[in-house]
A and B are shown apart, each in its own frame.
Chain A
Amino acid sequence: MTMPRNSEALIAELVGGLEPVKPLRFGAGMALALGSATVATLIVIARFGLRPDLAAGVVNPMHLVSTGLYLGLALAATVTVVVMSRPQVGSDHSGWRWAAGMAGLLPLAGVIVGLSRGGQAALAQGMDHGTDCFVIGGAASLLVFAMLVLWLRRGAPTAPDRAGLVAGVAAGAFGTFAFSLHCPDNDIVHIGIWHSTVVLAMAGLGRIMVPRLIRW
């Protein structure tokens, strides 16, 4: 088969512009995300302090379980984002969904308990504190989000909208995890609603923003 002239010219041009590149390793992507999550967590603790009980070496079961679920979701979603940045026919991108299903128990339980306590009035209680958690948790997720977006831009996600959604979930879950180390509230209604809202909001942001930022 003969090559059309313009393909030859294109190949010559691409060869002329070849620069060495550093391949995107799985470990490097994970290290970038975990490193930025650690920095964000340390900043939150330095700025707002640890929960009093944690600082005193006491643990609360509700706090432990909910914080663990968000951390699990953050890790699973991060793995999926890094997998998505390195395309390959045969790759599976669904792992994070199981973790999301498990963490989804928190908002579900929050709503059920809130309704059982008397509906909207109970849900509206603690609105100010909830808004603080939402805003600071959201801010704490921005560093991880930025790093994941940078990583995805270097990579080649074949479904940029999904990659953006999962990057948002990862960043939001890390942000909520970080702020959970400060937030002293052990109420499932507060945790289920306000802490999960950070994850949902970041997922929406990622879904909308990331496809615009990925260049193929």
Chain B
Amino acid sequence: MRADEASLARLMALSQHGDKQAYAALLEACQRWLRGYYSRRIAPSHLDDLVQETLIALHTKRASWDPSRPFLPWLAAIARYRWVDHLRRLYRADEHELREELIGTDDEPAVAARISLDRLLGLLPPAQERAIALVKIEGLSIAEASAATGQSEALVKVNIHRGLKKLAHMIEKE
């Protein structure tokens, strides 16, 4: 089924009443929507984990959606929270992936730009946005990011730290 606002909202409303068939359809549609939403904004090897963590959050927090409000901005807020949390945990574990070929997708997610991850990242100062994109999303090492940006290694680290902290407080910003 198509992951459009009206169908998702209808399925979610049914799911809140305990309709399992609607819920299965909803989760599958959300799973596809989330893959599009996160694509190119997370290392491909982390995509499955992140999508599944977000589905679990959707499940746990399903009462926080009000049927009188749109569904996708709610899902996007949950997804952004999970995404920022994921990036922060990567940072704490200090695990830097090798750069992998990013999967190109032709089907651009049919989602309003205002709820996208790019929009959220774009709220950061350019130096912080770039440091996070290179290290946390594309998987460059601090040294590589430093060479690519001309920022010192210490500055790359500071920009990542400050940027992630800021992102965590801007989850619901348009």
Contact = CB atoms under 8 A, between A and B. Distances in A.
A125 interface: no
Given A156-B78, A216-B57, A91 B172 contact: yes
Query: Number of contact residues on A: which range applies?
Result: 35 or more
B140 interface: no
Contact of B27 (A15, A25, A85): A15
Interface residues of B, number: 45
B132 interface: no
Interface in A1-53: 1, 3-4, 6-7, 10-12, 14-26
Contacts of A154: 63-64
Which of A1, A86, A158 has the largest count of B CB atoms less than 10 A from its CB?
A158
A101 to B, nearest CB: 19
B66 A11 contact: no
B144 to A, nearest CB: 30
B18 A23 contact: no
A89 B77 contact: yes
A91 B28 CA distance: 27
Interface in B71-104: 73-74, 76-78, 80-81, 85
A85 B172 CA distance: 12
A25 B76 CA distance: 19
A89 B57 CA distance: 16
A158 B55 contact: no
Contacts of A89: 73, 76-77, 80, 114-115, 171-174
A21 B62 contact: yes
Contacts of B80: 89, 158
Contact of B172 (A11, A26, A90, A215): A90
Interface string A144-178: 00000000001110110010000000000000000
Q: Tell me the interface secondary structure of chain A in the complex.
A: loop
Given A6-B52, A156-B64, A17 B59 contact: yes
Contacts of B171: 87, 89, 158-159
Interface in A111-131: none
A3 B31 contact: yes
A54 B7 CA distance: 56
Nearest to A25: B66
B56 A10 contact: yes
Interface in A168-206: none
A18 B60 CA distance: 10
B4 interface: no
A86 B69 CA distance: 10
A11 B27 contact: yes
Contacts of B24: 11-12, 15
A24 B56 contact: no
Interface string A97-141: 000000000000000000000000000000000000000000000
A24 B173 CA distance: 21
Given A86-B66, A89-B173, 11 more contacts: A6-B48, A7-B48, A11-B27, A16-B20, A20-B18, A23-B66, A25-B66, A88-B74, A89-B171, A154-B63, A216-B57
Q: Please give me the 7 A-B residue pairs with the lowest Cβ-Cβ distance, nearest first.
A: A87-B77, A20-B18, A158-B171, A156-B61, A21-B63, A156-B64, A89-B115
Interface of B: 15-18, 20, 23-24, 27-28, 31-32, 35, 48, 51-52, 55-57, 59-67, 69-70, 73-74, 76-78, 80-81, 85, 114-115, 168-169, 171-174
